[in-house]
Structures are given as structure tokens and as C-alpha cells.
Amino acid sequence: MAKKWGIAAIILYAVYALAMYFYIFHISSGGIPDAIKGTVADPQTFMTERELYLSDEYSKIRNFLFFVVTPFEWLMYILILFMGLSKVFEKWADVGKWKVIQNGAYLFLLYLFTTVVFYPIDLYRYWLSKDYGIGTQTFASWMRDYVLDFWINFGTTLIVVLVLYWLIRRSAKRWWLYAWLLTIPFAIFMMYIQPVVIDPLYNDFYPLQDKELEEKILALADKADIPSEHVFEVNMSEKTNSLNAYVTGIGDNSRIVLWDTTLKSLTDEEILFIMAHEMGHYVEKHIYVGMASYIFSILIGLWLISKIMPWLIRKFGTILKIDNMKDIHSLPLMLLLISFLLFLSNPISNYISRYQETRADEYAMELTDDPEAAVSTFQNLAKAGLSEVNPPLLVKLFRYTHPPMLERINTVAKFASKESTE
């Protein structure tokens, strides 16, 4: 029976992947509305023919990968259960008398196996970025980051899994609530140490070196009533040609970070607009709103898993080869449900993020009052990242945490028109 279900799952995934291929490459097309053609939002006015071609091609490949890789993860977990691999890992991990050691060994075997399975996909993404002129990172540097990712993610996952299954054994009915309560300080702690412990493992961060530009940024920060000691630059040019800036951390460790690629590619006016945008996030406390939304979504997710997972085990436990939820070999089913729920929640979380980004754009335009710099900034960001300025609706809903560039440039145009009439 498990074999038949496994074959059915593979066929279903293949049909889905084929359907997504035709949707992404042959059916969907964001296009450019007639009212936008010839304006500053039309990519044909600021991108070369080759950039337009590469942008279209690169975006379609990345969109296709997004929509097929996550369901492939679900398929992998299903096959791990159907084929009995999860129980095999549990048997191999039966070392020592302590349950915590056994569960830790099981997680390492499962995590190593899934990493090996996904390595060709991750490697393809690395070479894809290099081929299209986005990535600049050497393979040795990429592998270093890949191994670093493995151990950091494994370490944090280990803590979460060990605590989670300990709670499930102690309280079969309320484990989800206790797990959520523990998540709150853990999430805050991780966000607090992110800028000063984790991020520096990957890149070098240092105070902004251009002192003349720093004075302009500090003046802008003073105008916005923002503490001025949190502006940093990071040497991202060793890894990418893309442009970016972001806000990270909380409390004393919060900081605004500029990529050195941004500093090298944009004018001072454009950089000031980006900084004003990040200041908008700071002023409107988007980090704290995001953290609260994240914690609330975990509560909903854990509650759903506490209801769905036992039902699945009761209904399909024989096929899934799961005896009891409290046994560690049930972990692939939990990871499958987490991945599935996260995928379904993407449109909601992305909508909230796009709203925050729009608010930050509006704040930046009010603070700088320089629509020309705003337009040229968005145009340069699109060129550097080969961005799809007007993606299809499905892609926008599931992938875009920022408004598409066409919308962002239109927001600037509306702001400039409003200002001129006042």
C-alpha cells in the first residue's frame, strides 16, 4: 500500500511540475500596461534589450524553481516516511540510554540526508546566479557559507526539536501552547544576536567609511529623530552584484546596513533615499510588528499541527509507518506540515511585508522630497538584480515581499504629482 501511495505522490508531483512549467514559461506574463508604456516605469526606457531578455529569462527560471522546490520538499518527506527511512534513521540513532542523545543523532541523520538531496538544487542556484552576472562569489567561498549554514541551522533546529519532542512526551494535549510560550523568548534572543553574532560569520561589517556621505545620512537621521549610531556597511561585493540595504536586530543591537555594492553603484541622493526608506522601517517599528506577526503565526501553526498531525497518524499511521506522534520518527511528517503551512501563509505574510515596504517608500519620499532620486534608485535596483518589474499575479502573491518595481515607481509618480498640485 505504501508503495502505491509513493508512486501516486511522485506522479502527482510530476503533473504539478509540468503544469507550473507551462504556466511560468508559456502562459503567465505580467506584461506592461498600455498606460505605463513609455513612462519612467516602463523597463524599456531604462533597461537595454539584453537586460530585458536576461531579466525575463532569469525571472522565469527562478519563479519555476520556487514553485517546484517546496513541493519537492513535501515529496521528499512523504517518501522518507513511506519507504521506512525515518524508522531506519531512528534505529541507527539508537545510541546510549539518553533519549535526548538518540533524538539528536536521529535529527543529524535526517538533516544530513535532506541536505545531500537538496545539494544539487542549491548548487544549480549558485551557478545560475553566476551565469546571469548576479553572483560573484567563488565556489570555495560559497561552499564555506553552505557548510556554515548547515551547522548553524542544524544547531538551532536541534534545540527546537529536542524541546518540542520533550514537551510532546510530557503533555500530549498542550505541548503546542508550552512550545509557543518558549518560542517568544527564543525568537527575541535570536533576533537580538543576529547582527552581532550570526551575520558577522558570513560577512565583514564596519561603520560607514565615506565620512562625507555619513554626515548627510546623520543629518537625515537627525531630521527623522533616529539614533545615528546604527549605520553600517558590509562587503557584499565579494558575493553579488545586487544592491540592497536593510534594518536588522532589536534594542541596542539594531542597525541599518548598506551593501558596499549599493555604495559603489548609486549616487549620494539615491543612497539617501534608500537610507530614508530604511529609516521609515525604523520609525514605524516594522521590525517589532514583524516579530509580533511571526510569533502569532507560530501560535496558529503549532495549534494546527497539534490537530492535524494526530489525525493523520490515526488515519494513515500504517502507511506513514508512524506509531505515535511522540516518537522522533514522526518528525518528517511534522516538517512536511510546517513547510506546507508556511507555503500557504506566503500570500498573507507577503502582503503585510509589501504594505510595510510601501509605507517605508512613502516615508522616504516625504523625508527626502526627491522623486527623481527615488525613480532612478528603483530603476538601478531593477537593472542590478534583473528584476521582473511586473510579475504575474500568482508570482507576486507567493514570492514578492516588496512591491514590484512598476508599482514602486508609480507610487513615486503619484507622490510627485500630488506634491506639484498642492
Which region holds residue 39: left if phi is over 0, alpha if psi is between -120 and 50, else beta?
beta
Closest to 409 measured CA to CA, from 397, 383, 223? 383
Closest to 256 measured CA to CA, from 288, 230, 227? 230
The CA distance from 299 to 320, in Å, is 26
Which residues, other chains included, contact 56 with Cβ-Cβ below 8 Å and sequence gap of 6+? 388
In the set 73, 361, 370, 407, the catalytic residue is 361
CB 191 within 8 A of CB 291: yes
SS3 241: coil
- Mutual angle of helices 331-368 and 286-320, in 10-degree steps: 160
Per-residue buried b or exposed e for 355-372, using 16+ beta carbons within 10 Å of the residue's own CB = ebbbbbbbbbbebbebbe
Residue 122 annotated as catalytic: no
Residue positions forming the annotated binding site for Zn(2+): 277, 281, 357
Question: CA separation (Å) from 320 to 6, 44, 333, 405?
Answer: 10, 53, 8, 45
The letter for the amino acid at 108 is F
CB 196 within 8 A of CB 220: no
Closest to 320 measured CA to CA, from 84, 7, 92? 84
Residue 278 annotated as catalytic: yes
- Mutual angle of helices 99-131 and 49-82, in 10-degree steps: 160
The CA distance from 52 to 19, in Å, is 25
Report the catalytic residues: 278, 361
